[in-house]
């Protein structure tokens, strides 16, 4: 079945540094959704990317969908301690409902 | 309610016992999903309901797992003859339609089989 690979698995940064997590697939992704899960919490929807080459921004967060729709990235500018958590990408596949999640990238921020 | 509610938040059971996990979705959300999340992993799809019917149960690991949503709102995930490998956080999510729209997750039920 569809596999979504995320790198890195862990990332530790100093507050104020930038952070990027990457989501890759060997097959074409349908729609990519990004979620954030705080430690001990539940996944919270951040954004959905649908179109090839799409770029969306939410304040310090920038989301990109690759031209070939085989990769996506989430970039955080000037990290803050509130950014701590695990960031997951998920592909809806052709079903538009069954999400296949990556393993996530755990971000820790040193104040 | 304001969000997806799952009960209990924690459940410890002995191997071989039967458990039921409850999910109360956001009012008006027709789509409901169950996922399972093990430590250090992303959520893994189990089953999807559209209304009262299970539209896709392909993620259920085996026939010990079963889920219902008899009135198109509250759902119950049932696990028979629990095994230690069933230990995980069981997450419920709901959305207005299918996953083409934003999914809202509950806090999950942490199941521990001893």
Residue B100 tokens, joined: 């083409």
| Smallest CA–CA distance from A41 into chain B, residue | B107
Phi-psi region of B43 (alpha: psi -120 to 50; beta: other; left: phi over 0): beta
B42 and A92: CB-CB below 8 Å? no
CB of A33 closer than 8 Å to CB of B43:
no
Question: Is the pLDDT confidence value at B65 over 70?
Answer: yes
Measured between CA atoms, how close is B89 to chain A, in angstroms? 10
Query: What gap in Å lies between CA B33 and CA B95, rounded to an integer?
Result: 9
CB pairs under 8 A between A and B: 62
Q: Which of A21, A39, A24 is nearest to A70 (CA)?
A: A24
Query: What gap in Å lies between CA B6 and CA B51, rounded to an integer?
Result: 18
- What number of CA atoms fall less than 13 Å from residue A46's CA on the CB side? 29
The pLDDT of residue B101 is 73
A103 and B40: CB-CB below 8 Å? yes
Report the mean per-residue pLDDT for chain A: 94
The pLDDT of residue A1 is 56
Q: Which residues of chain B neighbour A88 with C-beta distances below 8 Å?
A: 42-43
Instruction: Using a pLDDT cut of 90, give the percent of chain B over it.
Output: 82
More confident residue, A31 or B101: A31
Measured between CA atoms, how close is B18 to chain A, in angstroms? 25
- The string of DSSP codes covering chain A is ----EEE-SEEEEETT--EEEEEE-SS--S-EEEEEE-TTS-EEEEEEE-STT-EEEETTEEEEE-TTSSEEEEEESS--GGG-EEEEEEE-GGGTS--EE---EEEEEE-
Measured between CA atoms, how close is A53 to chain B, in angstroms? 19
Question: Is the pLDDT confidence value at B32 over 90?
Answer: yes
pLDDT tens-digit readout, A63-91? 999 999 999 999 999 999 999 999 999 99
Give the mean pLDDT of B27-34: 93
Measured between CA atoms, how close is A24 to chain B, in angstroms? 15
CB of B87 closer than 8 Å to CB of B112:
yes
Question: Is the pLDDT confidence value at A94 over 80?
Answer: no
The residues of A whose Cβ lies within 8 A of any Cβ of B are: 31, 33, 41-45, 48, 88, 90, 92, 95-104
The pLDDT of residue B35 is 97
Give the mean pLDDT of A25-29: 92
């Amino acid at each position: 079945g569809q596999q979504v690979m995320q790198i890195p698995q862990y990332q530790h940064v100093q507050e104020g540094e930038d952070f990027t997590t990457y989501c890759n697939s060997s097959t074409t992704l349908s729609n990519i959704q990004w979620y954030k899960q705080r430690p001990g919490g539940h996944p919270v929807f951040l954004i959905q990317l649908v179109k090839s080459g799409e770029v969306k921004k939410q304040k310090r967060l920038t989301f990109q969908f690759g031209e070939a729709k085989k990769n996506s990235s989430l970039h955080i500018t000037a990290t803050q301690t509130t950014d701590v958590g695990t960031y997951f990408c998920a592909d809806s596949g052709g079903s538009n409902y069954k999400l296949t999640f990556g393993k996530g990238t755990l971000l820790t921020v040193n104040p | 309610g304001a969000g997806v509610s799952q009960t209990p938040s924690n459940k410890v059971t002995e191997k071989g016992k039967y458990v039921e996990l409850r999910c109360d979705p956001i009012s008006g959300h027709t789509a409901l999903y169950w996922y399972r999340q093990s430590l250090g992993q992303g959520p893994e799809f189990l089953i999807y309901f559209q209304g009262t019917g299970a539209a896709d149960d392909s993620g259920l690991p085996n026939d010990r797992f079963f889920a219902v949503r008899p009135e198109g709102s509250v759902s119950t995930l049932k696990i028979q003859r629990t095994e230690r490998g069933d230990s995980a956080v069981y997450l419920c999510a709901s959305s207005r339609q299918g996953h083409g729209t934003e999914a809202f997750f509950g806090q999950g039920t942490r199941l521990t089989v001893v």
